[in-house]
């Protein structure tokens, strides 16, 4: 008999058809994210759950007595309560790698937009402030042949490093839990401690997963180490950064600018101090947001879930739940 699953978000037709081939599918059809109380009501018979940002914790598991596997359409899995899932023997899966190149494209866009002040100067023209003879008021920073510092040299970090080195002639510095000799050889990447990287890099790109060890990883002490001309890019998780310290570093001129695709609380409040700063480029967490990549991610998540419910080993079980 086919296992019963609940799909807690919209997914492409291809992924939906695949799941229906292998499972009995109950699906949220409402507009927008499913309300928490409605989700809990729908999990009584579910053996599998497909989601992207739903918090998987003890409360949810108490409403899902038959649940065996959860598959998230994202590379991050900080919404998984790993201890609660382990206690129930529930498999958790994510979708790494498939989004690496797309997110790396966005990060390079943030680097260029922040360094050359593209959004700020777009407004400058559209608001009619451009005058003949404007010169230094339009200046930005070069990207080419600068030092690119990557904190978290996973698949996305390596994709960013390739773009920086081979597209812009940048020197690649990196900090990671473990050294990566292959990346060092292929990219002439130089491994540094975190303080060394922060002192040396012209562009600091944060790409760590959110874990207890990385929460608040970059704060006032770290910003104090950076060059005054440094640009900070965060496309990982907002909670890895002390946003008050980032605001102070930018407001005081301690660093030059920032490009942010993520915030500690999302959606970010309209009165958030960082949104008022002209030297900050802000995006609504769109790292993987292209139709092609999101469709691939949904399909990978669906395949992960089906394999887990068939008693096979999916390729993307999160390491803490293996």
What is the set of active-site residues?
Answer: 237, 266, 285
CA neighbor of 151 nearest in space, from 240, 75, 225: 240
What DSSP element (H or E) covers 257?
A: strand 257-260
User: Quick check: helix, strand or coil at residue 111?
Assistant: helix
Q: Are 252 and 231 in contact (CB under 8 A)?
A: no
Residues near 140 by Cβ (< 8 Å), separated by ≥ 6? 115, 116, 117
What are the beta bridge partners of residue 232?
204, 258
CA neighbor of 255 nearest in space, from 276, 224, 283, 277: 224
Phi, psi (rounded to 5 degrees) for 270 = -65, -25
What DSSP element (H or E) covers 298?
A: helix 291-309
Say how many C-beta atoms besides its own lie within 10 A of residue 171's C-beta: 18
What distance in Å separates the CA atoms of residue 222 and residue 199, rounded to the nearest whole number? 9
What distance in Å separates the CA atoms of residue 298 and residue 52, rounded to the nearest whole number? 9
Q: Phi-psi region for residue 266, left (φ > 0), alpha (ψ -120 to 50) or beta? A: beta
> For residues 66-102, b (16+ Cβ closer than 10 Å) or e, as one string?
ebbbbbbbbbbbbbbbbebbeeeebbbbbbbbbbbbb
DSSP string, 188-231: --EE--HHHHHHH-SEEEE-----TTTTT-B-HHHHHHS-TT-E
């Amino acid at each position: 008999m086919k296992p019963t699953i609940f799909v807690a978000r919209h997914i492409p037709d291809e992924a939906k058809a695949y799941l229906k081939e292998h499972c009995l599918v109950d699906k949220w059809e409402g507009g927008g994210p499913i309300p928490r109380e409605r989700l809990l009501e729908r999990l009584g018979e579910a053996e599998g759950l497909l989601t992207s940002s739903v918090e998987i914790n003890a409360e949810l598991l108490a409403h899902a007595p038959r649940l065996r596997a959860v598959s998230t359409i994202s590379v991050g899995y900080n919404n998984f309560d790993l201890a609660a899932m382990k206690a129930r023997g529930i498999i958790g899966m994510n979708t790494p790698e498939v989004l690496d190149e797309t997110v790396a494209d966005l990060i390079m866009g943030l680097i260029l937009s922040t360094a050359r002040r593209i959004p700020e100067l777009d407004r400058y023209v559209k608001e009619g402030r451009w005058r003949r003879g404007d010169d230094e008021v339009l200046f930005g920073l070069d990207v080419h042949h600068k030092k690119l510092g990557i904190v978290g040299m996973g698949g996305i970090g390596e994709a960013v490093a390739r773009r920086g080195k081979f597209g812009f002639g940048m020197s690649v510095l990196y900090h990671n839990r473990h050294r990566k000799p292959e990346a060092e050889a292929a990219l002439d990447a130089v491994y540094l401690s975190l303080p060394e990287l922060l002192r040396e890099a012209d562009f600091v790109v944060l790409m760590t997963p959110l874990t207890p060890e990385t929460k608040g990883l970059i704060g006032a002490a770290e910003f104090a180490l950076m060059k005054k001309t440094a640009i900070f890019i965060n496309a990982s998780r907002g909670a890895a950064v002390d946003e008050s310290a980032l605001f102070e570093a930018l407001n005081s001129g301690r660093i030059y600018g920032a490009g942010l695709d993520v915030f500690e609380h999302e959606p970010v409040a309209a009165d958030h101090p960082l949104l008022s700063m002209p030297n900050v480029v802000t995006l609504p967490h769109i790292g993987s947001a292209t139709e092609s990549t999101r469709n691939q991610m949904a399909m990978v998540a669906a395949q992960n879930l089906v394999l887990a419910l068939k008693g096979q080993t999916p390729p993307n079980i999160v390491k803490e739940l293996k």
